[in-house]
Amino acid sequence: IPARTFFIWNFVGGIIWTQSVIFLGYILGERLKGSVDIYILPIVGLIIVISLIPVLLEIIKEWRTKRHLS
């Protein structure tokens, strides 16, 4: 992919992503006024679990490979 095309689409994607996150934050902020404390911990926990999935899959893959080669 040519660098120019990549940078154009990267820029467009960044703008769309940023605006989407800002919009969702605004909408959720309006809906959850006063009750944000109830949702913060589960949301942070979910983000951590989802973030760890690729790491755990890679560890399992490596473990299986080492076990198979032994």
The predicted structure's pLDDT at residue 33: 78
Q: How far apart are CA 12 and CA 22, in angstroms?
A: 16
The predicted structure's pLDDT at residue 28: 83
The predicted structure's pLDDT at residue 67: 80
How do residues 6-63 score in pLDDT, each as one tens digit? 999 999 999 999 999 999 999 988 887 777 778 888 999 999 999 999 999 999 999 9
Q: Provide the residue ranges of all domains of the chain, joining segments of one domain with +.
A: 1-31, 34-70
The predicted structure's pLDDT at residue 70: 64
How much is the pTM? 0.50
